[in-house]
Amino acid sequence: MTNRRNEISPGKPRQRVQVSLPDGRIFAGPVDTPLNEFLRTAYTDRDNPPVAAIVDGTLRELAWPVATDAAVEPIFVSDSDGMRIYCRSLSFLLIVAAHDLYPEAHVFVDYSVPYGGYFCRVEERDMFSTEELAKLKEHMRRLVSDDLPIERLRATVPEAAEIFAERGEHDKVHLLEDVQDDHVHLYSLNGFSDYSYGYMVATTGVLHTFTLESFSDGFILRFPRREDPTRLLPAQKFTELRRVFNEYGEWLDAVGIRNVASLNEAIRSGRIEEVVLVSEALHEQRIAEIASTLARRHDAKHRLVFIAGPSSSGKTTFSKRLAVQLVANGIHPYPLGMDNYFIPRAKLEARGGEIDFDSLSALDIEYFQEQLHSLLSGKEVTLPRYDFKNGEREEGDRIKLKPDQLLIVEGIHGLNPKLLQGFADGEVFRIFVSALTQLNLDSHNRVSTTDTRLIRRIVRDAVYRGYPAEKTLEMWDNVRRGEKQNIFPYQEQADVMFNSALAYELSVLKPLVEPLLLQIRSPLQRIEAERLLAFLRWFDPYTSERIPGNSLLREFVGGSTLRDFTPSLLLTRGE
C-alpha cells in the first residue's frame, strides 16, 4: 500500500465550494452561496424549474446556504414533492397579494378541486367582485414578475402569536399554544409573514403557472398538475364532490370542530367522546339515507350497485355497513368482489411489460359482464376466486340469486363506463367512497385528503399485512398514478358520494403511525416520513380504544366487528 503521508499538509478554509449534480456536472461558487444560485445556473428550463433539492440525503430549500462541498439532487416542479412546494408557495403568494390589496379580507384556503386547484372562501367581508379578483390576479403576477425572495425567519412563539393576533387570525394563535419549542419558523414575502408546515420556493419567479376563477360563493386558485407543469387542465364539473364538501363542512360545524386547535381542545376538555359519537352517527345517518334510496328504487330492473373509490377510502367497511342497512330495509344483498375477475397472471405476463392490477385491462371484462347478466337473470353461477399468491383464478362459491336480491359489487373500476357496457342507463346505481378531509390546520394550511388516506394505509398495512411504512411509501406513487388514470376521472358519474373522513381520525392515527414513520431509514422515504411527521405534530393523540367496533376507522386501526361479518341473509347459494 502506497504511503501518502508525505502528500498530507495543513490546509486553510476554502473560499469556494462545489456542488455535484446527478448528471456529473460540478459547479463552484463562494462559500454560503444559496443553493438556488447554483441550480438556476445549472437548470435553465423555465417550464420545469427546481424548487428544492436533496443535499447529502436531506431535503433542503433552495435558500439554504452551501457551506461545504455537497452532492445535490434537484427536486423539480414535475416531482411530487416539487408540486407540493409549488402549490404551498402559490397559496402563500395568494394570501400575501390579498393582504396587500384587501387587508380587511380573510382568505380561507378550503379544499382541493379535481382538475388542479384550491377552492377559497373570503371571510370578514363580501366575496371579491369580478373586478377585484382580476386585480388580485394581476397583483400576484406582478409579484411573480418581480421575482421577490420568500425568506424563512426564526421567531419566538410569543412574537409569532402577536403577529397573528394583530391580524385577527385566532386559529393560528390557538395552534401556537401547543408548540413545545421556544421558537417557530415563519415565511416572509413583501412584508407579510405567515406559518407553513412545509417548505416554500426560494423566490416568486417560478410561480408563473396559475389563475384565479370565480366560483359560486368563493373562487378557485388554479395550478398545474406535475405531469405537465406548463398548463392548467380544463375546468370540470364537480357538482357532487362540492355537495360532499359542503356536507362535511356542516358535519364539522355540528361537532364544533373547524380546525386542529378546536380538535385538540375537545380532546383536553373530554368533549372528544361526544365528537366521536356524533361523527359516527352522521356516518350512519348518511349510510341509512343511501340504503333508503336503494330501497325506494329497488325492483327487478334495479338490482345492481357498484361501489368504487381510491385506496384506503374505507370501501370495504362502507359496503358491509350498507349491507346491514339494506337488510334492515328488507333487502337481501349479495357482495361480489371485482378483484376475483383478474386475468390469470401468466396471461398478463405474456403481454409483456409490468403487470398493473390497477388498470382496467387487468380485468377479464367479458367474463365479468357475462356472470353479471347470468346472476341477474336468475341463473346458477360458479363464481371465481383469484389467488394472488399463485396468480390463478380458481372456482369459488356456486350461487343463484333470489328474484329480488340486490348485487353489490366493490372495486376501483366501478364507475368506469367500459365495465358496464350492455347495461341500460339507470339500471346500475354507482357509489363513490373517499376520505375527503376538510379539517385543516388553520385557514391557510390544508391537510391533504391524499395524506389522510396515505396515513390510513400505512397503519393498515402494518396492522393487517405486516408491511413496514417504508414499503407502503415506496408503492404510493404507483397507487396514486393508478387512481388518477382509473378512478378520479369517473367520480362525477357516481349517483351518490360518501365521505368516509372523520373529524377526529388523525388524532387516533397519530400515535399509531408515528413509530412506523420513525423507523424509516431509506433517504428518499425518510423525506416523505418527515413531511408527514411535521404536520402530525400539531395533533394531540387520542386512543383508539373508544372507537366503535363498526367505525370505518376500524378498517385501518384494527378491532373491526365487521372484518369477518357476512350475515347469512347475504349468502344464497345454489340449490
3-class secondary structure, 149: strand
* pLDDT value, residue 21: 96
The position carrying cell 408557495 is 89
Q: What is the pLDDT of residues 412-464, one digit of tens each?
A: 888 988 888 878 778 899 999 999 987 888 989 988 899 999 999 999 999 98
Alpha-carbon distance values, 321 to 120, 294, 295, 327 (Å): 34, 14, 15, 10
CA-CA distance, 418 to 108, in Å (whole number)?
A: 39
- In sequence order, the 6+-apart residues with CB closer than 8 A to the CB of 438 are 110, 111, 245, 248, 249, 252, 501
Q: Phi first, then psi: what are they for 500, rounded to 5°?
A: -85, 0
The cell for 387 is 389467488
pLDDT for 571: 44
Q: Which of 505, 522, 503, 504 is nearest to 513 (CA)?
A: 505
CATH superfamily for domain 81-222: Threonyl-trna Synthetase; Chain A, domain 2 (3.30.980.10)
Model confidence band, residue 573 (pLDDT cutoffs 50, 70, 90) = very low
pLDDT value of residue 63: 93
Distance CA 150, CA 204 (A): 7
Q: What is the pLDDT of residue 350?
A: 82
Give the span between the Cα atoms of 492 and 236, in whole angstroms.
9
- Distance between CA 182 and CA 317 in Å, rounded? 43
Burial class (CB in 10 A: 0-12, 13-18, 19+), 421: exposed
Asked if residue 51 lies in contact with residue 206, where contact means CB atoms within 8 angstroms, the answer is yes
H/E run at residue 281 = helix 272-297
Can you tell me the distance from the alpha carbon of 452 to that of 440, in angstroms, rounded to the nearest whole number?
A: 11
- Residues 75-107 pLDDT 10s: 999 999 999 999 999 999 999 999 999 999 999
CB 74 within 8 A of CB 59: no
Q: Give dist(CA 506, CA 512) in Å, integer.
A: 10
Burial of 275 (0-12, 13-18, 19+ CB in 10 A): buried
Greater pLDDT, 183 or 438: 183
CA dihedral 402, 406, 409, 414 (to 10 degrees): 130
Query: Of 200, 217, 87, nearest to 150 (Cα)?
Result: 200
β-partners of residue 440 are 259
Residue 118 pairs in a beta bridge with 112, 221
Q: What is the mean pLDDT of residues 380-385?
A: 92
When mean pLDDT is compared over 6-15, 91-100, 339-348, the highest value belongs to 91-100
Report the C-alpha gap between 554 and 321 in whole angstroms.
Answer: 12
| Residue 569 in this model has a pLDDT that exceeds 70 | no
Share of the chain above pLDDT 70, in %: 97
Residue range 356-382: mean pLDDT, rounded: 89
244, 499 contact by CB (below 8 A): yes
Q: Is 237 helix (H, G, I), strand (E, B) or coil?
A: coil
pLDDT score for 253: 87
Between 149-158, 242-251, 466-475, 512-521, the lowest mean confidence (pLDDT) is in 242-251
For residue 3, the model assigns a pLDDT of: 67
Instruction: Choose the CATH number for 16-76 among 3.40.800.20, 2.60.40.10, 3.10.20.30, 1.20.1260.10.
Output: 3.10.20.30
pLDDT digits over 122-140, tens only? 988 899 999 999 999 999 9
Quick one: CA dihedral 457, 462, 466, 470, positive or negative?
Answer: positive
Mean pLDDT of 317-334: 91
Statement: residue 575 has pLDDT above 50: no
- In whole numbers, what is the pLDDT of the chain averaged over residues? 90
Q: What percent of the chain has pLDDT over 90?
A: 62
Domain 239-570 annotated CATH 3.40.50.300: yes
Burial class of residue 114 in the structure, from the number of CB atoms within 10 Å of its CB (0-12 exposed, 13-18 middle, 19+ buried) = middle
DSSP string for 289-357: HHHHHHHHH-BTTB-EEEEE--TTS-HHHHHHHHHHHHHHTT--EEEEEGGGGBPPHHHHHHT-S---T
In this structure, the dihedral spanned by the alpha carbons of residues 319, 325, 327 and 333, taken in order and rounded to 10 degrees, is -20
Cα of first residue to Cα of last residue in the chain, in angstroms, is 84
pLDDT computed for residue 298 by the predictor: 86
pLDDT digits (tens, 9 = 90+) for 210-259: 999 999 889 999 999 998 999 999 988 888 888 888 888 888 888 989 89
Q: How confident is the model at residue 574 (pLDDT cuts 50, 70, 90)?
A: very low
pLDDT average, residue stretch 350-358? 77
Beta-strand relationship, 333-337 and 406-410: parallel
| Other CB atoms within 10 A of residue 175 CB | 23
Rounded to 10 degrees, the C-alpha dihedral 555/556/559/562 comes to: 0
User: What pLDDT score does 144 carry?
Assistant: 98
Domain boundaries, the chain: 16-76, 81-222, 239-570
Confidence check: pLDDT of 263 > 60: yes
